[in-house]
Amino acid sequence: MIQLMLCHGNNTQTGGKELLQQWQEQPDSWIWVELYDEPTEAEHDFLSEQFCIDSVTITEAQRNRHPPSFQAFEDYIYLLLKPLDAESDSLDFNTLQLAMFASQRFLITRHSKESPYLARLWQALADNGCADESPLSMVASMSRRAAQRYGTVLLNLEQRLDVIEDELFDTPTDTLMKELVSYNTGLRKMHRILTYHVDVFDNMRRHLHKTNSHQLDIFDDIFALIERFNSLAGLYQNVITDLVEAYISLNGHRLNQIMKVLTIVTVIFVPLTLLVGIYGMNFENMPELKSEHGYFILLSTMTGIAALLLYLFRRTRWL
């Protein structure tokens, strides 16, 4: 599907390819081209013929698994981002591929999935006009939105990690461990994506520094935002690693305590069991069995052994 919006002053006009001629006849206008679910070859031909877009970057934009990137050409810039898709609001997320080609006179957006945000942005521009907008300002709006959505997920995670930390020391469970491992997997993926975006926006603002663009401050802010969220993702990975290690240490400590108790019980009852076993064999020639006080002597001996072992365990601080 190809949608076009012609922006001339504060007036907007939406339609199809028929708007291209008006755009070419009005040098002070700019046009927004929205591409979604268009056949690959038709999309490639349209971009290369109508806007002279580099063939390699078109192919790159059409790949579903290409990492974020930025390239500056003589007449336009190319920006490929991986924002969260509409259904993603946690670390169990998916992304969409958003490619943008922007010059002074055109903005081309291509996305691999449906985007409610782009639909709202399109409608707002159609309803309110575009006097204060330009292709580069639109790129800035979409980029900021992509950064903020990553930030929302990370800031929500911070609150959950605080709760998990308290629960971990009170009642550590395997469910908490699985949750932490799941978060760590999601953070690793997000950290990798955000690292790409940091490089992308760093390259973009360097390019804008050279061209003295009036949008430079906005992209400096977006770069700082992405860099901050990337640092947060790395920080939360370290926090989760520490929590996992704490969980393992707590479980190890509890296991040691259990083994101590079992060891104490075993050490105490082994000699007692030996005595019971010897005198329970009922041999004929066991003179002490006929002793008047043999029973009480044996009980006293067993009690003494148990008391001595308990004292020794107490001295070694096992009790």
Query: Do 197 and 157 lie in a common domain?
Result: yes
pLDDT tens for each residue of 76-117: 999 999 999 989 989 999 999 999 999 999 999 999 888 999
202, 229, 249 - which closes a domain: 249
Query: Do 202 and 254 lie in a common domain?
Result: no
Place of tokens 């974020």: 68
222, 249, 276 - which closes a domain: 249
110, 36 contact by CB (below 8 A): yes
Is pLDDT above 90 for 118? yes
Query: Do 236 and 290 lie in a common domain?
Result: no
> pLDDT averaged over the chain?
89
Query: Do 204 and 244 lie in a common domain?
Result: yes
How many structural domains are present in the chain? 2
Terminal-to-terminal C-alpha distance of the chain: 76
Query: Do 203 and 245 lie in a common domain?
Result: yes
Rounded (to 5) percent helix, strand, coil in the chain:
65, 15, 25
Query: Do 270 and 173 lie in a common domain?
Result: no
Nearest alpha-carbon partner for 228 in 191, 185, 203, 188: 191
Q: What is the pTM of this model?
A: 0.80
Query: Do 103 and 70 lie in a common domain?
Result: yes
Is pLDDT above 80 for 294? no
Report the alpha-carbon distance of residue 275 to residue 256 in Å, rounded.
29
Beta bridge partners of 78: 71, 101
How far are the Cα atoms of 21, 38, 120, 195, 308 from residue 15, in angstroms, in the given order? 12, 16, 17, 38, 95
pLDDT tens for each residue of 178-218: 999 999 999 999 999 999 999 999 999 999 888 766 788 89
Please report, rounded to a whole number, the percentage of residues in the chain having pLDDT higher than 90.
50
249, 278, 307 - which closes a domain: 249
What b/e string do you get for 213-230 counting C-beta neighbours within 10 Å, with b at 16 or more? bebeebbeebbebbbebb
Query: Which CATH number is 292's domain given?
Result: 1.20.58.340
Query: Do 52 and 199 lie in a common domain?
Result: yes
Per-residue pLDDT at 159: 87
**Strand runs (DSSP E) across 66-105, as ranges?**
69-72, 77-81, 98-102
Query: Do 158 and 211 lie in a common domain?
Result: yes
**Ordered alpha helix ranges (H), 52-115:** 55-62
12, 130 contact by CB (below 8 A): yes
Query: Do 93 and 186 lie in a common domain?
Result: yes
Query: Do 162 and 257 lie in a common domain?
Result: no
Per-residue pLDDT at 167: 86
Contacts 24+ apart (CB under 8 A), 264-270: 264/309, 264/313, 264/318, 264/319, 267/309, 267/313, 268/305, 268/306, 268/309, 268/310
Report the alpha-carbon distance of residue 203 to residue 22 in Å, rounded.
34
Query: Which CATH number is 189's domain given?
Result: 3.30.460.20
Domain span holding position 78: 2-249
Query: Do 197 and 269 lie in a common domain?
Result: no
Report the alpha-carbon distance of residue 92 to residue 70 in Å, rounded.
27
